[in-house]
Structure formats: structure tokens, C-alpha cells
Amino acid sequence: MNRKKILFIARWYPDRNDNMLGLFVQKHARAVQLLHDVTLIYVTADSTLKKGELIIDEQNHFGIHEIRIYFGKYKTEIRNAIEYIIKYFTALKLAKKHSGKFDLTHVHILSRTAFLAMWLKITEGIPFVITEHWSRYLPVNIPKGSYSGWLRNLFTKVAVNMASSVTTVTANLADAMQNLGLKNKYYITPNIADMGDFYPLENKKNESIKKLVHVSCFDEPAKNVKGIIDVVNQLATKRNDFIIEIVGDGKDFNEVYNYALKTNLVNSRIYFTGLLTGKELSAKMRNADAFVMFSNYENFPCTIVESFASGVPVISSDVGGISEHLKPEFGILVEAGNKVQLEHAFIKIMDEPSMFNYKMMREYAKEKFSIEQSAKLFSDIYHSAGIL
């Protein structure tokens, strides 16, 4: 198979202000880079810059040629929209200078990112595919979410119609998009984990104190970390043989931390580690007895994939596409917001660890969510777009 030149256009991507933003897009880019040459452009309005200020950051990372452009944010949406278009063309010029003509454009997360892909298809005949990660199309987020307004909806429908195909991280998200009239040929391309970073702990000891882990971006309306804290607070009145470590940072961190302080359990039952990445995060995961999520809505988070790869059972609310992969031998599903069910799940997973198949979790993760498997899957999709 000849290596092709793929242009990624990402709405979210690790940047100078948030190195966790769109990390799942970077993982997809890393997968595609195994078989093709990836150049990625990312443009964002940066509130830390003054109007008219501009930062262009061009570097190679994991073999991916990354072009990030930051511009000072304007007060009106229209002015920002114009600036996005201008900066996308600036990024495209730099991308072409580095790589020449591209064989295909791969859009990650609609809608503004599709503009440049549509332009390239019209002017140069370059096909494009779309990968969507955003939960805004799910019924729970309609109509209160950001997928609203006739102009945005019309533009999104035109973009999806012009694409050679659309991929989503779950079948649930694909169904939601099609139910909104976004019709095309859909493929499922799950989030992935680096199996070399996330792996089970050999000869794991059955410790007397059970360790639960939650990894969060602290977006409270979605992640519902306070709900987890409520259940921990209740369970702590009944038993003292567990702790929970809450990993991460984000916009609602202070709100959640202050909420936890009221329980008087911080640094005795509840521990906040701050942001962990790389080997620190993977070590924290594989040393856990269970990974916990209690989100109000999700697609299929990378953290669950990483937990499977680490051979660690998962407790999660049954939202988004999580039930597509969370089998009974891999963990426990609970109703979103149901604290009684979550407490029972805590107890079951701590008292009956043998009911979960750690080896099967790991093998399932390797089969479904490895970088190598993702690379092959995307190449097959590119083939359907006519470039291979």
C-alpha cells in the first residue's frame, strides 16, 4: 500500500492552554500516521491574546506535522468566524508548503472545520471524510445544546452530504446524527489507547484498601463528579476499606473540590491528584481496582478504553455508546444519576472482583481499540473514498 498524504483539520486538539483538549483526535492522527503521511491544522481563538495578536506554532509530533494557529479573540461571532476562515487559509498555505498536494482531507469535529475541506473538494477535487466526536447531536442535548440555528444546521447538512463518508466513535452517535437528517455512509471508529502505555499489572495483589479511580475534565454538567462524591460520602458511613482518586483538571475543578471539602473526606477517602498524563496516568489506572464514571451524557470516552487495556473493571452510567462495549464481565452499568445503583456497584466491584475477566478485557481492547487496528480501519475507509 502506497502512503498517501492526508490533511487533518481538527476543531479540538492539544494546545498551549490545554494539553488534554482533543487528545482523542491526536490519537487518531497517530494511528493514521502509521500507514500514511499526516499533516494537521488546528485554528483557535485564544482569549489570552489581544485582538490582532497571532501565534503560529509548527512542529512534528509522533511523526505528524502539526500546524497550530492562535489568534486574539474578537467580541462578535461574525468577526471571529471571518478570522477563522482567514487563518484556515494561512494554515493551508503552510501545510501545502510542507507536504505539497494532499490526497484526502480528514475533518475532525464539525462544523467550521468543514469549510476548508469543502473548498478543497470544489477547487481541487480532493475528497474528504468526517469524524465526529461531539455529543451535541444526542437527544439529551437537543435543543439546548450547540447544534441549533438554521444556518449552522444547513451548513452541517451540506458538509455531511459532500463528504465521502462519516465516522463516529459510537453507533449511538451515528444514529443520533442520522435522525437529525445528516445522511451519509457511516462507519464506527472508536477512540483508541496506546497498548504499550496502558497494560495490566502482573500479579496484582488483593489489597485490603480498594482503590477507585475517576479521570475527569471537570465539566460538571456532563461528568457529574459531585454525584460520585455524594455516593462516596454515603458509603463512607458504612465502610472504611476504600479510597477514590479523582484525576484531572478543568473549568469546574474548584467548584467540585470545594463541594468535596464539605464531606470532610478529602485526603482520607477522597484524593485529588491534579492532571496526570503519560506514565503517571497509566500507572494510576492499572493500580486501581475499578474505574468510575457517572456522567450525565457521553459518547465512548478514551478513559474507558484505557481501563479495559489496563485490565481494570469499569463502573459507568449507561449513557451514549458505553453499553456497546461495556459487557457484564468488564464492569457494571448503572442508570445516569441513580446514586443507589452506583453505591451498589461500588460494593459489588469491591467485594466480588473475581466476577470480572481481566484478561478478556485486555484482549478485547487490543482487538477493538489498538492504534494498529485503528490505522487499518481508517485506511479501509479512505479506500472507500477512492484514494487507495
| % of the chain exceeding 70 in pLDDT | 98
pLDDT for the residue 144: 64
The full DSSP string for 273-286 is EE---HHHHHHHHH
pLDDT value of position 174: 94
Residues of the chain with pLDDT under 50: none
Give strand ranges (E) for 182-320: 186-188, 210-216, 242-248, 270-274, 290-292, 314-317
- E strand or H helix that includes residue 80: helix 77-99
Write down the pLDDT at residue 52. 86
CA 127, 31, 325, 334 torsion: positive or negative? Answer: negative
What pLDDT score does 30 carry? 95
Asked whether 5 and 101 are in contact (CB, 8 A), the reply is yes
What is residue 150's predicted lDDT score, i.e. its pLDDT? 82
Which three cell numbers mark 61?
A: 509530533
- Cα dist. 63→56, 154, 197, 277 in Å? 19, 36, 18, 20
At which residue does the C-alpha cell 502509521 appear? 34
Yes or no: say if 4 and 104 are a contact pair by the CB < 8 Å rule: yes
Model confidence over 283-326: pLDDT tens digits? Answer: 999 999 999 999 998 888 899 999 999 999 999 999 989 999 99
**Per residue in 278-288, pLDDT tens?**
899 999 999 99
At residue 145, the pLDDT reads: 64
Least Cα distance to 285 among 249, 312, 324 occurs for 312
